[in-house]
Structure 1
Amino acid sequence: MRNEMMHRPVLKDEILELVRNRQKQMGGPLGEVQQEAYDNDVPIIPNETASFLKFFLKQIKAKEVLEIGTAIGFSASLMAQTMGKEGHVTTIDRFDVMIRKAKTTFEKLGLSEQVTLLEGDAKDVLPTLNGPYDFIFMDSAKSKYIEFLPECLRVLKKDGVIMIDDVFQAGTVMHDIKEVPKSQRTIYRKLNKLYDTVLSHPDLTVTILPLGDGVLMISKDVEKIEL
């Protein structure tokens, strides 16, 4: 389950030390889940991304959140705890082993009533949702981000935000495709298509953050978006 790209950071070591290790880790039972994942190379968001996510959700006062890619339930739990009892997270995953682990995490943290886990492929689940969601966090198969984007924008409220994780591919996303291993070229093409789609779109406000393996933030400026 080791995410090799997370071990090839694009930041200098001293900056990575500051943003990842000097910021405090999560505390309590959530911190135990975080540390266990790190110890076992389970691919959860790194601490700098978790810290930003917690900070950002507080600022926008999100109440309804959608997540694509539950994994072991760490990020969904972080978001649910950050929003408090008035907030709710709907999260989607299709892998049985992750679904079982996520349910265990939610039960351990007392969040089973605050998090709804939808089992299935996001391409099938997303069209069944109505929203609106204040915030959407995508952390799943990187080659699928561009495919999920239209449905995510449909259910996102106006001025809502989509946060997409792992969009740098350790910096290789900006290399010539001939320099990219053949096994990674589909991801390379799909991530660059994602950038091409959103960075110049007139109805989206977009920024890119060097957190973890890259974070893409997309704000929806109008009610209906055409891509």
Structure 2
Amino acid sequence: MEKRFNIVNNDVEKYIQDTLAPLRDNLQVMYRNALKNGVPVVRLEVLRVLETYLILKKPYSLLELGTATGFTSIFFSEYLKDNGYIDTVENDLEMVKRARENIKEMAPDKNINVIYAEACDYLKNINKKYDIIFIDAAKGHYEEYFDICSNLVNNNGIIFSDNVLYRGMVAKGDKIPHRQKTLVERLHGYLNRITKDERFCTSILSVGDGLSVSVKK
């Protein structure tokens, strides 16, 4: 079972998760299996926030950094415009294989492209624009991802970054364990950077392990 760290009261989080509508059957099974096997997966309450934006935005093009088993891409694909597509990037070959199998089984009619690459390498070598970009890859590189993605997202598009409060440690100042200090400092710098970027309107939401929402003006 994957160990989960909460940045909100445990009772509040449980209440929210119990109250939210469940995922459709096959996604619910996939979600539970990911939790059981310790595979990284976006939390239910975060998914529902993302779902709200997806319904409002109805994107044609979506980029995901960090595919894992393909769960999030499959979830996102339900909200694309007709003929819309998802590019999802993963640097773990075994995860790429699993994601492609899951997508073939659960979303065979969706245009989801699983790309085996390092996120930064991929970003530096493409020339296309996206309506939504979801960053859920190596947290130590979030600022580098954002710097490139800021030019890849369309006007009125959205960049989401997951796990930005990292177990609540970003707010703990000098009380950070030594082994996690560098990562936390990078995330702290990242949040300062994106909230001050005048090209975007950015909010930080205390759902899951922290979600930032940056809308390009």
2:203 matched to 1:207? yes
On the 8 A contact 2:77/2:110 being kept in 1, the answer is no
List aligned pairs for 1:131-210, cutoff 5 A.
131-177=128-174, 179-210=175-206
1:88-112 deviation per Cα after TM superposition (whole angstroms, max 9, x unaligned): 1100010112111111110111337
Q: Structure 1 residue runs of 4+, over 4 Å off? A: none
2:76 pairs with 1:72: no
Matches within 5 A, 1:90-101: 90-101=87-98
Matches of 1:204 and 1:162, distance apart in 2: 9
- Structure 2 residue ranges without an equivalent (≥5): none
Q: Deviations over 1:189-219 (max 9, x none)?
A: 1101111211122221000111110000111
Q: Cα deviations across residues 101-144 of structure 1 (Å, max 9, x unaligned)? A: 11111011133751011111011100122221000000011111
Rounded Cα–Cα distance in structure 1 between residues aligned with 2:48 and 2:72: 11
Tell me the distance in 2 between the aligned counterparts of 1:202 and 1:69.
27
Unaligned 5+ segments in structure 1 are 222-227
- Cα deviations by residue, 1:160-205 (Å, 9 ceiling, x for unpaired): 100000011111111124x212221121111011112111222210
Aligned residues: 217
Distance 1:68 1:14 in 2: 31
Superposed CA RMSD in Å reads 1.6
Q: Work out which of the residue numbers 45, 48, 53 in structure 2 matches 1:48.
A: 45
For 2:17 and 2:60, the matched residues in 1 are separated by 27
Match of 1:225 in 2: none
Q: Secondary structure of the equivalent of 2:7?
A: coil
Letter in 1 for 2:210: G
Q: Is the 8 A contact 1:61 1:83 kept in 2?
A: yes
| 2:151 partner SS | helix
Q: Given the superposition, is the C-alpha separation of residues 184 and 111 from structure 1 closer, same or farther in structure 2, using an over 3 Å criterion?
A: farther
Q: Is the 8 A contact 1:21 1:47 kept in 2?
A: no
Q: Distance in 2 between matches of 1:105 and 1:86?
A: 20
Q: Quick one: distance in 2 between partners of 1:85 and 1:38?
A: 31
Q: 2:58 touches 2:81 (CA, 8 Å); kept in 1?
A: no
Distance in 2 of aligned mates of 1:219 and 1:157: 10
2:60 aligns with: 63
Question: Secondary structure at the residue paired with 1:90?
Answer: strand
Structure 1 residues 141 and 112, CA gap change in structure 2 (3 angstroms): farther
Paired position in structure 2 for 1:216: 212
CA gap of 1:131–1:207, structure 2 versus 1, over 3 A, is: same
Give the SS at the match of 1:212.
Answer: coil
Matched AA of 1:121: E
| Structure 2 residue identity aligned to 1:190 | R
Distance 1:163 1:94 in 2: 20
Q: Distance in 1 between matches of 2:36 and 2:22?
A: 14
